[in-house]
Structure formats: structure tokens, C-alpha cells
Chains A and B, each alone.
Chain A
Amino acid sequence: MALRALAARKSLAGSGFQRILGARGLQTFSLPDLPYDYGALEPAISAEIMQLHHQKHHQAYITNYNKALEQLDAAIAKGDASAVVKLQSAIKFNGGGHVNHSIFWNNLSPVKEGGGEPPHSSLGWAIDQSFGSFDALITKMNAEGAGLQGSGWVWLALDKELKKVVVETTANQDPLVTKGASLVPLLGIDVWEHAYYLQYKNVRPDYLKNIWKVINWKYASQVYEKESA
């Protein structure tokens, strides 16, 4: 545990995924630090939401992902095929939860550090090409996010095959890759109720309207430039 906590202290500049050798040589994951304080996104997102979201929700996905991976390891060692198959849903859900939230934290930034500043780089141009304008993209993602039934994510993605940016949604904690192997996530917005309920209650559209004030377009642009090169 101490080892994990120590190793968890690293910046998010890297992949955000921690790989630690466990007792059985199994790779496990640990909670990445946020690149800003819990209160740094106020008033768009409250400190209370950020703290619970990071320390409780994201941590729970990681804990349960590690648990499922340990069970998978044991099932494979035993050659228990049905146990392996049975673990897939827990691995997809909790592993997806870890992957998605790791991206999400990078997608946010305090206003004083450039949060909310629209992209001017090649990503800005690609958005205009695909959606007509930056505002049109926001309108589209707000509508898709508000219309998503239950829990899930709305994404801005680079489709490496089509060589254009697209909007997608995924249910629950399905990672973007489940919608297509050529999709690279640039920006993911969490529309689970836990992402906004304490502040916005049942009014998801208000959360979506306000989150644009703290979106980190620099990060999205970096990913876009790297992946489209």
C-alpha cells in the first residue's frame, strides 16, 4: 500500500497509468494525482464534487479493477475458462472507469491556467471542418450529453481512419475504443449524475453549459497533433 501511494505521486504529464509489480508479479493500477486543486475549477465544478469524484469514484474503479485483474490472473492460472469470461464485465466496467476518468482530469483546467480557451491550432481548424464552427461543436456535444440515457460519456474523438474529428457517446464506463478501434479520445465529458448532482441536481444541461469554461483545449490539441501527425 505504501509502495502504491508513493508511486502514485507523479504528474499527469505521463500516461496516467501506474504499473506496480505486486506480490505475484501482477501489474496493478493506482490513482493518478489531479494536476490542479479540488477547488480550482470553481465555480463551474465545486471542490466537493471534484474531491468525491477523484478520491471516491475514481479510486473505487481502480480498486475494483485491480481486484478483478487479480481474480483473472488466478482464473487463468487455474485454466478456469468460465471464470475468465465471467470477469469480463467487471474488467470492462472498472477498467473503463479508470481509463475514462484518467482522460477526464486532463480535459479540465482552471480558468487562470487557460481553461475554457478555444483551440486555435490545427484542432480548431479540424473542428470547423467537421462541425462548421466551434460553437456548433459545443451545441452538438451539449445535446448529445443531455440526451444520453442514464450514465455515460460524450466524446470528441479523432477518427484516425477518416482523418477527421467526430462526436461519440458511450454508455456507463465503456471506453471510447468500444465505438471503433480507430477512435482516439481528445475530450471526454462525464455525464454520470455523480459528476454534477451535488451542484446541478437534475439539471444536466446546466452542468454541460458550464463545463466548457474549464475545458483544457491545450491538452486536446496536443493529443490531436500527436495522433494526426
Chain B
Amino acid sequence: MVILAVLAAATTPPPFAAPNSLTSALGPPWKGLTGSLGSPSSLQWLKKQRQCKRKAGTSSICAKFELKPPPYPLDALEPHMSKETLEYHWGKHHRGYVDNLNKQIEGTELDELSLEDIILATHNNGDLLPPFNNAAQIWNHDFFWESMKPGGGGRPSGELLELINRDFGSFERFIDDIRLAAATQFGSGWAWLAYKANRLDVENAVNPNPTDEDKRLVVVKSPNAVNPLIWDYSPLLTIDVWEHAYYLDVQNRRADYITFFLEKLVSWEAVSSRLEIAKARAVEREEEEERRKREEEEKSSDGEVAEIYVDNKSDDSEAE
């Protein structure tokens, strides 16, 4: 966010595919606050990082979240998405979420957290606290602007295409899936492509037996401000299906908007970069989980009777 906040003030926006901007949009680890992997030490690190980041701006704005501009001029998505739509969608709606969140968290303990940690903390296991909607909508809109580019569309390539073929059968089937998700989000919300790693479908549950099949692409939809971070998925792509995203351009015809998003605007380069980060993150977390397990085993074998130690050593299938 440091980098982003600084760049936000500059006239040239950050290139959407630059690893730096994407890393900061996606990281730091999302489970910091409530997840099983979040140790007190990692929480400290997150807090510190945020304060540090905020110092990157001038002193008067360092304590606030910034409205980050799209990585292209507001008229760059015409004729598909009009300048007028961007002026309202970014200039009014997105700005409103930023202004409201800054007001809501001022002087509270949330003020020191990263945007991702505010989202997780205020999601509150589905019993939403007031800042949740604003915080998640800031994150979602930043992510949405970077999901598009002028002259986008076409087909993905490389590993992204391979995984799409593997997990959906074909690119065409994936398009059908995400189109259906976007069209059938009943009310305001978002449609997503996400990378699901080592997690059950149950919210926040750690998969006891991670296999390669868990590391797969999924299409999901979410109501209002909710995003896949709260299910611990790594988002790769999103389509805003609030009516304000398309009403000035195509009125009630959400299906037309979904079509031009997928055919003319989506940035597959951005999605590919996010996939890289999501995979690296999954590996990192697996290693961390392993390390944690090992430490626990060592701890218990230190203080407990020898037969457990022997059991553990002898055979995995008998370990229970």
C-alpha cells in the first residue's frame, strides 16, 4: 500500500502487471488475524508494516487509506465502458468507500491494520461489523480496476490456460461458468475466478489432507461487498455486478456488460500474474503448516511418554 499510496498521487499510474503493485494488492497473508496460521508474531509484523507504509506519504495523509486510481485513464475503456461510468464508479462510489472507511476506523484499533486484516476482522464470521462493507469494497474495486485493461479480452495463455482447461474442461466452459455466476448473482455483488489451495469448502477450515486437487481454480459469486478472502481463497479475477457498474452504459442489460467485460476488457496478463502469486503463497503456507506440525510434534514428544514417540516414528497409518 505504501507504493500504491505514493503512486496514487502521481500522474502516471502503476502498471497493473508489475509484480510490486500486484503483490501489495494481494499480500500480506490474509489469515493474519483470525486464521489458524496467524501467530502473534506475524500479527505484529503486519501492524508494523502498515504503520511504516503509512509513513511513506506526507504526514497529513499517512494515517488514511488512499483512493487508488485505475491503471489507465478514465476514458481508456471506451467504447465498452464509458468515461462517465468510470467518473461515477471510481470517482464517486469507490471514493465514497475510502472516505467512509477512513472516518469509521479513525481512532479505533482497526486504524493500525492493513486493509486485508480489517476485512477479516470486521467480517466477524459473517456477523458483519460496520467497516466491513467499506473496507471490502475498497479492496474489491482496486482489484476490479486492475482486472481490466484497454484492448483486453482474447484468451489466456501459459499455465493459466492449462489450469483453466484442467479445472473447467475448456476455456469456453470456464467462460460459461463465470458468465452464469455473474448473471445469477441475485442483487448486488461480484463474480470471481479464484485459486483455492488446501482448503475445504467449509469456511476457514484447514484441509487435513491437502492434495493437488485442492489447488485448483474455482468460479464463485459473492453478495454485496463480500469477497473470497474471507473463505481464504486467492482471488484472480473479478467482475463487479452491482448495477452501478453498467447501468449508465447498458441499463438493465447485465448480460451485455458481462460479454464486453470478458471479450474486450479483461486483462489475462493481470490474472496470470495473480496466479503466480497465489501459487507461491500456497507453497509458502504449506511449508509453514509443515513447520508448525513438526514443532508441535517435537514439543509433545519432549514432554510425553515414549510410546507416542515410537508410534509417530513407526508408521503414519498407525499414528492415530
Are A56's CB and B247's CB within 8 A?
Answer: no
Residue of A nearest to B95 (CB): A202
Are A198's CB and B186's CB within 8 A?
Answer: no
A206 at the interface (CB under 8 A from B): no
Residue of A nearest to B137 (CB): A149
Interface 1/0s, chain A 166-183, versus B by CB < 8 A?
000001110000000000
Q: A150-B242, A172-B187 are in contact. Are A197 and B247 (CB under 8 A)?
A: yes
For B225, list chain A residues within 8 Å (CB). 149-150
For B252, list chain A residues within 8 Å (CB). 52, 56-57, 60, 194
Chain A positions 200-221 with a Cβ under 8 Å from a chain B Cβ: 201-202
B251 at the interface (CB under 8 A from A): yes
Q: What is the minimal beta-carbon distance from A201 to any residue of chain B, in angstroms?
A: 5
Q: A201-B92, A202-B88 are in contact. Are A194 and B247 (CB under 8 A)?
A: yes
For A197, list chain B residues within 8 Å (CB). 243-244, 247-248
A222 at the interface (CB under 8 A from B): no
Residue of B nearest to A171 (CB): B187
Are A150's CB and B223's CB within 8 A?
Answer: yes
For B188, list chain A residues within 8 Å (CB). 149-151, 193
Are A149's CB and B243's CB within 8 A?
Answer: no
Residue of A nearest to B189 (CB): A150
For B243, list chain A residues within 8 Å (CB). 151, 192-194, 197
The interface centre, meaning the residue of A52, A93, A149 with most chain B CB atoms within 10 A of its CB, is A149
Are A56's CB and B251's CB within 8 A?
Answer: yes
A152 at the interface (CB under 8 A from B): yes
B227 at the interface (CB under 8 A from A): no
Are A52's CB and B186's CB within 8 A?
Answer: no
Residue of B nearest to A53 (CB): B252
For B224, list chain A residues within 8 Å (CB). 149-150
Chain A positions 85-99 with a Cβ under 8 Å from a chain B Cβ: 89, 93
Q: A149-B133, A150-B223, A151-B187 are in contact. Are A202 and B251 (CB under 8 A)?
A: no
For B92, list chain A residues within 8 Å (CB). 201-202
Q: A197-B244, A202-B244 are in contact. Are A173 and B187 (CB under 8 A)?
A: yes
Are B187's CB and A201's CB within 8 A?
Answer: no
For B153, list chain A residues within 8 Å (CB). none
Q: A56-B252, A149-B224 are in contact. Are A172 and B186 (CB under 8 A)?
A: yes
* Pick from B93, B96, B242, B247: contact of A198, CB under 8 Å: B247
For A52, list chain B residues within 8 Å (CB). 251-252
Q: What is the minimal beta-carbon distance from A54 to any residue of chain B, in angstroms?
A: 11
Residue of A nearest to B251 (CB): A52
Residue of A nearest to B132 (CB): A149
Q: A201-B88, A201-B92, A202-B88 are in contact. Are A193 and B186 (CB under 8 A)?
A: no
Q: What is the minimal beta-carbon distance from B150 to any residue of chain A, in angstroms?
A: 24
Complex Cα–Cα for A151 and B186 (A): 9
Residue of A nearest to B253 (CB): A56
Chain A positions 53-67 with a Cβ under 8 Å from a chain B Cβ: 56-57, 60
Complex Cα–Cα for A214 and B278 (A): 52
Residue of B nearest to A56 (CB): B252
Chain B positions 142-174 with a Cβ under 8 Å from a chain A Cβ: none
Complex Cα–Cα for A89 and B223 (A): 14
Interface 1/0s, chain A 134-157, versus B by CB < 8 A?
000000000000000111100000
For B251, list chain A residues within 8 Å (CB). 52, 56, 194, 198
Complex Cα–Cα for A111 and B312 (A): 81
For A194, list chain B residues within 8 Å (CB). 243, 247, 251-252
Complex Cα–Cα for A171 and B186 (A): 10
Complex Cα–Cα for A89 and B184 (A): 10
Complex Cα–Cα for A56 and B251 (A): 9
Are B88's CB and A198's CB within 8 A?
Answer: no
Q: What is the minimal beta-carbon distance from A145 to any residue of chain B, in angstroms?
A: 15
Using a CB–CB cutoff of 8 Å, the interface residues on chain B facing chain A are 88, 92-93, 96, 133, 186-189, 223-225, 242-244, 247-248, 251-252
New A-B pairs, 20, CB < 8 Å, besides A56-B252, A93-B187? A52-B251, A56-B251, A60-B252, A89-B186, A93-B186, A149-B188, A150-B188, A150-B223, A151-B243, A152-B187, A172-B223, A193-B188, A193-B243, A193-B247, A197-B244, A197-B247, A197-B248, A198-B247, A202-B93, A202-B244
A-B contact pairs, 6 of them (CB 8 A): A151-B187, A152-B187, A197-B244, A197-B248, A201-B92, A202-B92
